[in-house]
Amino acid sequence: MHLDRAELRVVSLPLLKPFRTSFGVMTDKNFVLLRLFGEGLEGVAEGVMDLRPDFREETISGALALLQDTVLPAVLGHDWVNPEQLMRHLTGIRGNRMALATVEMAFWDLWSRSLGQPLSAVLGGVRDAVPVGVSLGIQASVEATVDSAVSHAEQGYRRIKLKIQPGWDVDVVRAVKAALPDTPVTVDANAAYSLANLNTLRELDTLGLDYIEQPLAWNDMRDHVKLQALMNTPLCLDECITTAQDARKALETAACRLVNIKVGRVGGHLEARRVHDVAAAFSAPVWCGGMLESGVGRAHNIHLATLENFTKPGDTSSSSRYWARDLIHEALETSGGMMPVPAGHGIGVTLDLPFLETITQQKFEVGPVRQPVAGR
Strand runs labelled E in the chain: 5-21, 24-38, 41-46, 129-131, 134-136, 160-163, 185-188, 212-213, 235-237, 258-261, 286-288, 338-340, 360-366
Q: Does some domain include residue 373?
A: no
Compute, in degrees rounded to 10, the torsion defined by CA atoms 334, 339, 341, 343.
-20
Output the pLDDT for position 23.
67
Q: Does some domain include residue 376?
A: no
Q: What is the mean pLDDT of residues 264-271?
A: 97
Instruction: Select which of 161, 177, 262, 312 is catalytic.
Output: 262
- Regarding whether 321 and 209 lie in a shared domain, the answer is yes
Output the pLDDT for position 326.
96
Q: Which domain holds residue 164?
A: 121-340
Half-sphere exposure of residue 167: CA atoms within 13 angstroms, side-chain side:
4
- Regarding whether 248 and 186 lie in a shared domain, the answer is yes
Q: Is the pLDDT of residue 281 over 70?
A: yes
Instruction: Select which of 163, 226, 249, 363 is catalytic.
Output: 163
Q: Write down the pTM of the prediction.
A: 0.94
> What is the 8-class DSSP label of residue 372?
P
Please provide the distance, in angstroms rounded to a whole number, between the alpha carbons at the two ends of the chain.
30
pLDDT in tens, 141-183: 999 999 999 999 999 999 999 999 999 999 999 999 999 999 9
pLDDT in tens, 170-181: 999 999 999 999
Question: How open is the CA angle 118-298-219, to the nearest 5 degrees?
Answer: 115
CB atoms within 10 A of CB 94: 6
- Please provide the average confidence, as pLDDT, over all residues in the chain: 94
Q: What is the C-alpha to C-alpha distance for residues 110 and 255, in angstroms, rounded to an integer?
A: 37
The stretches of 46-82 forming alpha helices (DSSP H) are 60-66, 72-75
Output the pLDDT for position 85.
97
For 312-331, b/e burial (b = at least 16 CB within 10 A) is bbbbbbbbebbbeebbbebe
Q: Does some domain include residue 135?
A: yes
- Regarding whether 143 and 51 lie in a shared domain, the answer is no
- Count Cβ atoms within 10 A of the Cβ of residue 196 and give its class: 0-12 exposed, 13-18 middle, 19 or more buried: exposed
- Regarding whether 149 and 10 lie in a shared domain, the answer is no
Output the pLDDT for position 239.
94
Q: What is the mean pLDDT of residues 303-324?
A: 94
Q: What is the mean pLDDT of residues 98-124?
A: 98
Q: What is the CATH number of the domain that holds 310?
A: 3.20.20.120
- In three-state secondary structure terms, 26 is strand
Q: Does some domain include residue 197?
A: yes
Output the pLDDT for position 368.
84
CB atoms within 10 A of CB 74: 17
Tell me how many domains the chain contains. 2
The backbone torsions φ and ψ at residue 30, rounded to the nearest 5 degrees and listed phi first, read: -100, 130
Query: Are the CB atoms for 215 and 223 separated by under 8 Å?
Result: no
Q: What is the C-alpha to C-alpha distance for residues 235 and 245, in angstroms, rounded to an integer?
A: 18
pLDDT band at 40 (very low <50, low <70, confident <90, very high): very high
C-alpha distances out from residue 145 to 24, 83, 141, 159, Å: 17, 42, 6, 14
pLDDT band at 16 (very low <50, low <70, confident <90, very high): confident
The verdict on whether 29 is a catalytic residue reads no
Output the pLDDT for position 376.
30
- 12-21, 31-40, 130-139, 264-273, range with the lowest pLDDT: 12-21
Output the pLDDT for position 129.
97
- Regarding whether 163 and 63 lie in a shared domain, the answer is no
- Regarding whether 234 and 198 lie in a shared domain, the answer is yes
Q: Does some domain include residue 297?
A: yes
Q: Does some domain include residue 69?
A: yes
Question: How open is the CA angle 35-39-41, to the nearest 5 degrees?
Answer: 45
Q: Does some domain include residue 375?
A: no
Output the pLDDT for position 22.
67
C-alpha distances out from residue 156 to 88, 159, 249, 286, 338, Å: 42, 9, 35, 21, 8
3-state helix, strand, coil in the chain (%, to 5): 35, 25, 40
Q: What is the CATH number of the domain that holds 35?
A: 3.30.390.10
Q: Does some domain include residue 94?
A: yes
Output the pLDDT for position 26.
79
Question: How open is the CA angle 52-255-166, to the nearest 5 degrees?
Answer: 50
Output the pLDDT for position 374.
38
Q: Is the pLDDT of residue 372 over 80?
A: no
